[in-house]
Amino acid sequence: MRPLGVGIVGAGFAAELHAVNYRPLRGARAELAAVCARTRAGAEAFAARHGIPRVFTDYRALVEAPDVEVVDICSTTDTHHEIAIAAARAGRHVIVEKPLTGAFCEATEPREAMRARALANADAVLDAVARAGVTLCYAEDFVYAPPVAKLRRLVEASGGAILELRAEESHSGSHAAYAARWRTSGGGSLLRMGSHPVGAVLHLKHWEGQRRRGRPIRARAVTAEVASLTRLPSIVGLRRYLSTRAEDVEDWAVAVVTFEDGTLATVHATDVTLGGVRNVVSAYLTNGVVHANITPNTTLAAYAPDAAVWGDEYISEKVETKAGWQFPSPEEDWMRGYPQELEDFVGAVRERREPLAGALLAREVVEVIYAAYVSAATGRRVELGRP
């Protein structure tokens, strides 16, 4: 069987992660056939780094290319749904980075209207995929991270039930210009980062329901608070090490998700956390507790009195300094689940099966996050599946 031809849309941080982690699959199972970027120079530079033969500046041309069978969408969030729909209509399988989509409008728009728009975008993608009979792979790496995979195995071995989940992604802020504004990002820390822990807790309850009852346990209601802590008048003029550039989006969020079986999950997503990226998932069971620390991970510890000691050697994502005690990540992509994720996606497409992270998870993440935005704006608990 010949390798699948993959076309990557995007040439930034996410696209780089994907391209690097296709390497174990290239040759027999998959090949990077094309890349599309906003500028030809950007596309050509990316192609040169990763040995990609064809470049495009229009995603519509990439999805129609005869050697592209899978479109891997690593572009900015505001373009995800339109590219996914175009790819599906062209008969291409779809891999889409998190989140699937959102509401890309002025931040002053009522949150209920945003919720309706985001769900309409998500449903349009799922409809296009279903009509075309292609596979949608949702690139939520938390699902594939080895600590979360071990968490699943421990829960299964225990025979217990999940009573509560706690999950977080936080760091000191995004450097990306698009992330500062609602119109291009679809939300702040809750959507941009919170989609990871929200995806993780929804996945674990889906998985538990399938294992115990033969059907996913779905989210039923959401209560949330959001804030813009870095724009508070009380901190103006204070020295800070946070790098967030948020203009009209939140930089702090907490959401409580109630599932249809009555169990709960708490999600944190903030741009006000120093010390590097914090990616953690904890499960509280009827007969045990499991803490899955994706980042930071204490496999390796190192100390230096001065940041210059380690030179250009990578430590971990978004640490403000290399001085002091650090936890260098020896294999960060593997620990976060990127190669495992892509291996499952290639296998799902080739075997015509559902991936571990697919359409159901992609849509429910959008549903929960925008219900959380409504809750934060109205001060009430928001029931899912209702106006």
What CATH number should be reported for the domain holding residue 198? 3.30.360.10
Q: What are the tens digits of pLDDT across the range 83-111?
A: 999 999 999 999 999 999 999 999 999 99
The mean per-residue pLDDT over the stretch 263-281 comes to 96
Tell me the two tokens of residue 173.
């802020």
Q: State whether residue 251 is helix, strand or coil.
A: coil
The mean per-residue pLDDT over the stretch 221-232 comes to 95
Query: Picking from 49-58, 130-139, 205-214, 293-302, which range would have the lowest pLDDT averaged per residue?
Result: 293-302
Does 321 fall in a domain? Answer: no
Shared domain for 272 and 379, answered yes or no, is yes
Shared domain for 136 and 201, answered yes or no, is no
The mean per-residue pLDDT over the stretch 176-205 comes to 96
**CA-closest candidate to residue 373, choices 238, 228, 239, 223:** 223
Q: Are 161 and 286 in contact (CB under 8 A)?
A: yes
Give the separation between CA 131 and CA 168, rounded to whole angstroms.
35
| pLDDT score of 301 more than 50 | yes
Tell me the two tokens of residue 143.
């699902």
CA distances from residue 238 to 243, 244, 275 in whole angstroms, order as listed:
14, 15, 19
Shared domain for 49 and 103, answered yes or no, is yes
User: Per residue in 351-382, is it b (16+ CB within 10 Å) or e — as a string?
Assistant: eeeebbbbbbbbbbbbbbbbbbbbbbbeeeeb
Tell me the two tokens of residue 379.
């001060």
| pLDDT score of 386 more than 90 | no
C-alpha 211: how far from chain center = 24
- Predicted confidence at residue 7, as pLDDT, reads 98
- Predicted confidence at residue 1, as pLDDT, reads 78
Q: What are the tens digits of pLDDT across the range 168-177?
A: 999 999 888 8
Shared domain for 12 and 129, answered yes or no, is yes
Does 309 fall in a domain? Answer: no
Q: Across the strands, what pairs with 279?
A: 169, 295
Shared domain for 212 and 157, answered yes or no, is yes
The model's pTM is 0.95
Does 327 fall in a domain? Answer: no
Shared domain for 107 and 161, answered yes or no, is no
| pLDDT score of 241 more than 90 | no
Does 325 fall in a domain? Answer: no
- Predicted confidence at residue 387, as pLDDT, reads 44
Q: What is the mean pLDDT of the chain?
A: 95
Strands (E), the chain: 4-9, 30-36, 54-56, 70-73, 93-97, 136-139, 162-170, 219-227, 252-259, 264-270, 278-285, 289-295, 302-304, 324-326, 382-383
Shared domain for 73 and 179, answered yes or no, is no
Residue reference for tokens 């799902």? 348
Does 313 fall in a domain? Answer: no
Cis peptide before 3 (omega within 30 of 0): no
- Predicted confidence at residue 177, as pLDDT, reads 85
Residue reference for tokens 């729909």? 85
Does 307 fall in a domain? Answer: no
Phi/psi for 8 (5° steps) reads: -95, 130
Give the separation between CA 252 and CA 111, rounded to whole angstroms.
17
Shared domain for 118 and 170, answered yes or no, is no
Shared domain for 110 and 47, answered yes or no, is yes
| pLDDT score of 243 more than 90 | no
Shared domain for 163 and 64, answered yes or no, is no
Q: What pLDDT band is residue 242 in, cutting at 50, 70 and 90? A: confident
Q: State whether residue 62 is helix, strand or coil.
A: helix
The mean per-residue pLDDT over the stretch 258-267 comes to 98
Q: What are the tens digits of pLDDT across the range 314-347?
A: 988 888 899 999 998 889 999 999 999 999 999 9
Cα dihedral across residues 230, 233, 236, 240: positive or negative: negative
Q: State whether residue 65 is helix, strand or coil.
A: coil
Shared domain for 130 and 165, answered yes or no, is no
Residue 110's CATH number: 3.40.50.720
Does 331 fall in a domain? Answer: no
| pLDDT score of 267 more than 50 | yes
Q: What are the tens digits of pLDDT across the range 15-70?
A: 999 999 999 999 989 999 999 999 999 999 999 999 999 999 999 999 999 999 99
- Predicted confidence at residue 317, as pLDDT, reads 85
Q: State whether residue 17 is helix, strand or coil.
A: helix
Q: Which residues contact 353 (CB under 8 A, 6 or more apart)?
A: 135, 347
| pLDDT score of 367 more than 60 | yes
Shared domain for 137 and 197, answered yes or no, is no
**Which domain does 155 fall in, by range?**
150-295+368-383
Q: DSSP string of 285-332? A: ESS-EEEEEEES-TTS-EEESSGGGGTT----TT-S-S-EEE---TTH
Phi/psi for 140 (5° steps) reads: -105, 100
Bigger pLDDT: 384 or 385?
384
Does 134 fall in a domain? Answer: yes
| pLDDT score of 245 more than 90 | no
Per the structure, how many domains does the chain have? 2
